[in-house]
Amino acid sequence: MVDFTLSDEQKDLRELAHDFAAKEIRPVAWEYDRESTWPQEIVEKAWEVGLMNPHLPEEYGGPGLDYLSGCLLEEELAWGCSGIGTSLTCNGLALAPVALGGSEEIKRHYLGMLAEEPKLASFCLTEPDAGSDVSGMRTTAVRKGSSYVINGTKTFITNGSHADWYTVYAKTDMDAGHKGISAFVVPREAGVTVDKKEDKLGQRASDTAMVSFHDVEIPAENLLGEENKGFKLAMMTLDRTRPGVAAMAVGIGRAAMEFASDYAKERVQFGVPIAMHQAIQFMIADMATKVEAARLLVWQSGALLDQGKRNTLACSHAKRFAADSAMEIATDAVQVYGGYGFIKDYPVEKLMRDAKIMQLYEGTSQIQRLVIAREVLMPRRVTEAATA
């Protein structure tokens, strides 16, 4: 029998994350959004109460939470503010390749660093001319004796201005397409340059930067996994992080639905609250269904990981549906507010701006459809383990 009943520990975590979002994030979210400022104080508080690095393994000082629990946490933080939530949770994207492919010494050093202090790490895959087409990357890593020398530029790097280390993907064989990509862990002090901070439409409390590597030399031991096997490591990482990103989309959609519902009960037109009009009722009903359906897809994608099963199809379903639903719900929430929804004094215009990025990062909605189509049209006969 399928059972998504949460354990007492999961319920406690969900309550902790919600209380933190309600008390520490939401009261200042619109201010941080307006000024596009970095939420350092909130980062430190979240680290202190244990809301960062949920999947950091216990042997390296982390809580080692299951992936479903991580989804619960990320939905609540995004309900408070998805920009700040992204700042708090993006370490997971950088640490996953290290946990999967790093040597014991590398894991103890770099993963342990995140457990010791409220430090940050960034995942560097996207480039100005290589987004969805990862094989088109131009960043190179050339072996020189006992070192690799990295040259190139990465763009749209979350927490890039504030990271203490970076998981970097680079070509070690320029002629092999995605089969020539390798992954490395690169400390900031090795010479990483932050070129600029992006001025974004939404999630403005999240730092997004362009970073460059100019003859950055690192020890050969910083290679993650095998040379030229970095693409596989990246795909394994995204299978682990997309459920959490989808959960953030659920949080945005839920917040927009709640604001719209509350406003509809207060706003009076034609002598009654607009919530009494069937047109508005149907919009709210559709929002509620999308939130519930998206959450179930998210939970399924996380639960499969926790069972050690391959979740590629499930997490693409979750990411695509939750992201598109968040955008639809937020757009409809603006509609419920009418002209006021278009004004920055009201909350839903921020949610509409925040929702858009969910359809873009960690694989666009179109890329998710490609993955889904491939999995449906060419199904694997044997279900692979998540760690394969």
Three-state SS letters, the chain = CCCCCCCHHHHHHHHHHHHHHHHHHHHHHHHHHHHCCCCHHHHHHHHHHCCCCCCCCHHHCCCCCCHHHHHHHHHHHHHHCHHHHHHHHCHHHHHHHHHHHCCHHHHHHHHHHHHHCCCCEEEECCECCECCCHHHCCCEEEEECCEEEEEEEEEEEECCCCCCEEEEEEECCCCCHHHHEEEEEEEHHHCEEEEEECCCCCCCCCCEEEEEEEEEEEEHHHEECCCCCHHHHHHHHHHHHHHHHHHHHHHHHHHHHHHHHHHHHHCEECCEEHHHCHHHHHHHHHHHHHHHHHHHHHHHHHHHHHCCECCHHHHHHHHHHHHHHHHHHHHHHHHHHHHHHHCCCCCHHHHHHHHHHHCCCCCCHHHHHHHHHHHHHCCCCCCCECCC
Q: Is 362 a catalytic residue?
A: yes
* CA distances for 268 relative to 46, 184, 210, 249, 284, angstroms: 40, 58, 47, 30, 16
Q: In the block, which residue shows the tokens 């959004």?
A: 33
Please identify which of the residues 24, 74, 127, 362 carries the catalytic annotation.
Answer: 362
Q: In the block, which residue shows the tokens 């969900």?
A: 14
So which residues are the catalytic ones? 362
